Amino acid sequence: MTPTKVRVMDTTLRDGSHAIRHRFTKEQVHNIVKALDEAGVPVIEISHGDGLAGSSMQYGMSLVDEFELIEEAAKTSKNAKIASLLLPGIGTRKELKQAKDCGISMVRIATQCSEADISEQHFGLAKELGLETVGFLMMAHMLSPEDLAKQAKLMESYGADIVYIVDSAGTMMPQDVTARVKALTGELKVPIGYHAHNNIGLAIGNSLAAVEAGAACIDASTSGLGAGSGNTQTEVLVAALSKVGCETGIDLFKIMDAAEYIVQPMMEYPMTINRDALTIGYTGLYSTFLMHAKKAGEKFNIDPREILLELSRRKAVAGQEDWILDVAAELANR
Ligand SMILES: C[C@H](O)CC(=O)C(=O)O
Ligand SMILES: [Mn+2]
């Protein structure tokens, strides 16, 4: 049975940051947060696309210091919770404390799906700081539902208030999503969330499948702005959930207007499933590799799909962005 309420977390200002090369300005953050907050979005995530302290040569430099942007978001929001993403190993205790001082009230702690054990201390500190905590299991297609549930249990035992199944590659079929949501809801006491990418055209369908299977929280991005082919579109999700009798508390017309008039003019390209993004979805590769592979392809005059296929053969995961140039150079020398 479809639940009657779903908590939508909007990641335009975090996952969307990948799609504009981490170039959000303070004014853009102000306008997006104001529009989403007025539309009734309950949670707004903001940080570098790769989480706190992600700004670097490896992941891409932010135009504006993310703490200034977080502060602006917290100052602007009247009702929405402000959240940041943190990947242990990239973000540290120092940045988590600083983000809390800038006004976040939720942290989403992300690990590769088989490495939940590296997040224990981060959950501990987040709890000490009084933050609501989310565990974010990336590349969740790489584990069976049973093994994923074991990792989710670990995050729950460390203090996660919610655990997310993250389809970082946009590669899951609806039945993969259903099986994973059911495995986690069967084992955990805390609510389960789902985060989609649209590389194989299923972000909305899979989000509905997740809700139908018992997920209580769904990630979305206004106009779909996000890595790869983008995320579940917030405005489309609100409409689709309403059609199956599920309330989000978000005003449909206001979120449509935010997408059309605030976010779309900021986009560098429309969120489409082009051949490179589809290669990511088809092979199950990390969505954020798309931009890096395109750049490396141009540099070495190679089809980015060849680079992506080779990375997929090597089972590259989040954090291995430095392999992309190596692979491109190797292919160019063959
Ligand atoms: C750091 C990544 O962009 C997190 C994410 O949104 C995903 O894995 O998907
Ligand atoms: Mn994502």
Contact 215, 178 (CB under 8 A): no
Identify the residue whose C-alpha is closest to ligand 1 atom 8.
Answer: 168
Domain 7-266 and domain 288-333, same fold? Reply is: no
Domains of the chain by residue range: 7-266, 288-333
Per-residue model confidence as pLDDT tens digits over 249-299: 999 999 999 999 999 999 999 999 999 999 999 999 999 999 999 999 999
Q: Which pLDDT does position 3 carry in this prediction?
A: 78
Complex ipTM: 0.99
Distance (Å) from CA 278 to ligand 2 centroid: 15
Helix residue ranges per DSSP H, the chain: 15-19, 26-39, 66-76, 93-102, 120-128, 145-158, 174-187, 203-213, 234-243, 252-257, 275-283, 289-300, 304-313, 322-333
Amino acid at 231: N
Per-residue model confidence as pLDDT tens digits over 141-179: 999 999 999 999 999 999 999 999 999 999 999 999 999
**Domain 7-266 -> CATH class:** alpha beta
Tell me whether residue 93 is exposed, middle or buried, using C-beta atoms within 10 angstroms of its C-beta: 0 to 12, 13 to 18, 19 or more: middle
Q: Which pLDDT does position 204 carry in this prediction?
A: 98
Identify the residue whose C-alpha is closest to ligand 1 atom 1.
Answer: 50
Q: Does domain 288-333 have CATH number 1.10.8.60?
A: yes
Per-residue model confidence as pLDDT tens digits over 271-280: 999 999 999 9
Q: Has 18 been annotated as catalytic?
A: yes
